[in-house]
């Protein structure tokens, strides 16, 4: 691939620092103004790489890399940068807490009215939204890890006291975000003959058999999911009756706290738990985002640093249970049947009858998460690769946009419109605009490419990833102040008239997430081919046999002269044996070099014998 994650991240850091910092002043907000999500996304552009990649760490001043310091020079030096981050974290936690210290998760300026000209009410702006919960989980875990390590480098008591205060407040926000996610989870149960039931059965019935047969087979496939949902005890979704085997259902996250959601009983300090207005209907977009966000709660870094206490771990366990169940549900529906998968029937149709390529991408995300976790076979991964390629063509990423192809362009700008049902109880009907199709598609493509064993599938996906990245690069700003950041769709689509000039932290943060994932992936050992391991083993056996023969038949005096050569060959073969299991191609290269040198020794001996 043509990507260089480290260089790209440094360029983004430099651009983000330039766009955010003006002397000692910090400019919050971007294209959509300042809110609990946008400001978290802006902070995560810095915090996420610093948390996940040792080369980008900012919590140990003496260990900060020179290129990192150069990129963040507009913020400060190795000592000033972490202190500046303390100030920014403090400002964020203060802004998004009420006077009693209760965390606020309102969507604010990200909420848009369905009808132009209508005004979003203050009560609506304050409504909690799942995206804010998910972003806060990631940001607060990154913050807690940063504070925990930075404390070791600090001797001044006033700074240590500030760190302790920020730790306490970050834990409150993290706990409140987990509680909010538990109260936003929902299970939607419906009759097979209802419009929702018919839509689900039509999606599942790719073989065009009788509805009753599809219903029975689907219910059987979902028995494990149904049993898991019955065991839910805390949060919303735990009161739904799933005992009737004739009823169909779907599960996932609503857009906010579900109406009449019970409070989560916990000893943690989370403040008052707000009432919700969201109906008991899962949304694909918010479900996919929640699944990506909550996984940080049981990551290796969270465990190693001990970022969760016992009460928080209980909430994390409840969320992980929902994570497993939800992935299993959507994977089962998306890959149901023996013929064509419902996932391959693009675009995906939701149970409320709406269709969009973006919904196909959302379901693909959940299927890919499952396949990554289970190390799926290459046949399934090849089918997913075909879906990703089709989505890229349909969205005019890998295919030239045609004039006035407004439906394809609308996926990117202004984005897919998600209606937030129930929000009209407090004012006009609200919508949520989703415009991250390209970068989300790129992330899913890389996920699949990292686990496939098939060279052909991997090459297909790497080619696709390069094409998507080239498209995303076209949407990067080129003018000063926001140069190097995103998102300007007019750079890639002639039909987009309004040239953007303000940064979208929403899009830029997702670019950062992707590049961090790429950097982490490059640390993993390469995928090995068992066939190549077997070939390397055969070559090694021959090489070691030839080496042993050379050591036996070569006279001791002659061997002393060629000792360095024999020793080098033996070292190469020892190294090849050590790495053969993880890096068979590298082992093969070492063995081939040893075989060539052994053959040269043999040829020299034969020539000397003939000369005599």
Please give the residue that has the higher pLDDT: either 378 or 485: 485
Give yes or no for a contact between 25 and 113, defined as CB atoms under 8 angstroms apart.
no
390 has a pLDDT exceeding 60: yes
Domains of the chain with bracketed CATH: 5-195+198-523 (1.50.10), 530-611 (no CATH)
Burial of 373-397, coded b for 16+ CB within 10 Å and e otherwise, reads eeebebebbbbbbebbbebbebbbb
- Per-residue pLDDT band for 612 (boundaries 50, 70, 90) equals low
For residue 567, what are its two tokens? 């020793």
Segment 362-372 mean pLDDT? 86
Is the dihedral angle over the CA atoms 14, 19, 25, 28 positive or is it negative? negative
234-291 residue pLDDT tens: 877 666 778 888 899 999 999 999 999 999 999 999 999 999 999 999 999 999 999 9
395-408 residue pLDDT tens: 999 988 776 666 78
Pairing of strands 348-349, 25-26: unpaired
Q: What per-residue confidence (pLDDT) applies to 554?
A: 67
The terminus-to-terminus CA distance of the chain in angstroms comes to 56
- Per-residue pLDDT band for 2 (boundaries 50, 70, 90) equals confident
- What global pTM score does this model have? 0.89
Segment 515-520 mean pLDDT? 93
Give yes or no for a contact between 253 and 287, defined as CB atoms under 8 angstroms apart.
yes
Query: Of 167-171, 205-209, 478-482, 605-609, where does the model show the most confidence?
Result: 167-171
Give yes or no for a contact between 126 and 285, defined as CB atoms under 8 angstroms apart.
no
Residues 6+ apart with CB under 8 A from 181: 130, 133, 134, 137, 235, 253, 290, 294, 319
Segment 445-453 mean pLDDT? 87
3-state secondary structure 377-443: CHHHHHHHHHHHHHHHHHCCCCCCCCCCCHHHHHCCCCCEEEEECCHHHCCCCEEEEECCHHHHHHH
Give yes or no for a contact between 293 and 137, defined as CB atoms under 8 angstroms apart.
yes
Q: Tell me which residue of 366, 122, 415, 361 sits closest to 253, measured CA to CA.
A: 366
- Per-residue pLDDT band for 27 (boundaries 50, 70, 90) equals very high
20 has a pLDDT exceeding 80: yes
- Per-residue pLDDT band for 496 (boundaries 50, 70, 90) equals confident
Mean pLDDT of the chain: 91
Q: What per-residue confidence (pLDDT) applies to 406?
A: 67
> What residue has token string 């900060």?
64
């Amino acid at each position: 691939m043509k990507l260089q994650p480290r260089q790209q991240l440094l360029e983004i850091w430099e651009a983000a620092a330039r766009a955010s910092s003006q002397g000692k002043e910090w400019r919050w907000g971007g294209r959509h103004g300042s809110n609990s999500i946008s400001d978290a996304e802006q902070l995560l552009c810095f915090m996420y790489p610093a948390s996940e990649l040792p080369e980008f760490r900012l919590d140990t001043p003496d260990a900060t890399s020179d290129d990192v310091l150069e990129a963040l020079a507009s913020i400060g030096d190795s000592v000033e940068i972490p202190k500046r981050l303390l100030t920014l974290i403090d400002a964020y936690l203060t802004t998004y807490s009420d006077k009693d210290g209760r965390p606020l998760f309102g969507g604010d300026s990200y909420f848009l009215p369905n009808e132009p000209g209508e005004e979003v009410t203050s009560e609506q702006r304050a409504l909690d939204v799942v995206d804010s919960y998910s972003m806060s989980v990631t940001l607060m875990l990154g913050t807690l890890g940063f504070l925990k390590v930075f404390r070791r480098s600090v001797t001044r008591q006033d700074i240590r006291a500030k760190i302790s205060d920020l730790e306490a407040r970050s834990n409150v926000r993290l706990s409140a975000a987990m509680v909010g996610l538990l109260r936003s989870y929902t299970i939607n149960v419906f009759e097979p003959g209802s419009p929702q039931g018919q839509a689900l059965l039509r999606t599942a019935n790719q073989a065009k058999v009788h509805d009753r047969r599809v219903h029975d087979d689907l219910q059987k496939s979902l028995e494990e999911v149904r049993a898991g949902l019955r065991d839910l005890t805390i949060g919303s979704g735990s009161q739904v009756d799933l005992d009737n085997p004739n009823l169909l259902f779907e599960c996932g996250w609503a857009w906010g706290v579900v109406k009449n959601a019970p409070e989560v009983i916990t000893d943690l300090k989370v403040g008052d738990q707000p009432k919700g207005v969201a109906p008991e209907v899962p949304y694909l977009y918010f479900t996919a985002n929640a699944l990506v966000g909550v996984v940080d709660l049981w990551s290796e870094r969270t465990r190693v640093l001990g970022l969760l206490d016992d009460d928080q771990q209980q909430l994390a366990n409840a969320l992980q249970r929902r994570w497993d169940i939800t992935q299993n549900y959507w994977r089962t529906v998306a890959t149901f049947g023996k013929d064509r998968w419902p996932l391959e029937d693009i675009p995906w149709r939701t149970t409320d009858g709406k269709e969009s390529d973006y919904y196909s991408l959302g379901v693909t995300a959940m299927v890919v998460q499952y396949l990554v976790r289970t190390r799926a076979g290459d046949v399934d991964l090849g089918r997913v690769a075909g879906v990703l390629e089709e989505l890229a063509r349909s969205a005019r990423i890998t295919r030239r946009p045609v004039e006035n192809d407004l439906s394809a362009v609308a996926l990117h700008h202004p984005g897919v419109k998600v209606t937030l049902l129930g929000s009209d109880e407090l004012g006009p009907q609200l919508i949520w605009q989703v415009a991250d199709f390209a970068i989300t598609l790129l992330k899913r493509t890389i996920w699949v490419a990292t686990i496939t064993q098939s060279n052909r599938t991997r090459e297909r996906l790497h080619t696709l990833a390069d094409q998507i990245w080239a498209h995303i690069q076209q949407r990067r700003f080129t003018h000063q102040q926001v140069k190097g950041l995103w998102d300007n769709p007019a750079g890639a689509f002639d039909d987009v008239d309004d040239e953007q000039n303000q940064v979208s932290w929403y899009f830029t943060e997702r670019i950062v997430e992707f590049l961090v994932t790429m950097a982490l992936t490059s640390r993993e050992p390469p995928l090995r081919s068992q066939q190549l391991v077997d070939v390397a083993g055969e070559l090694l056996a021959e090489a070691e046999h030839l080496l042993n023969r050379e050591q036996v038949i070569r006279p001791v005096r002659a061997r002393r002269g060629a000792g360095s050569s024999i020793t080098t060959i033996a070292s190469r073969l020892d190294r090849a044996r050590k790495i053969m299991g993880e890096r068979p191609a590298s082992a093969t290269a070492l063995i081939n070099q040893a075989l060539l040198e052994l053959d040269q020794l043999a040829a020299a001996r034969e020539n000397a014998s003939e000369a005599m």
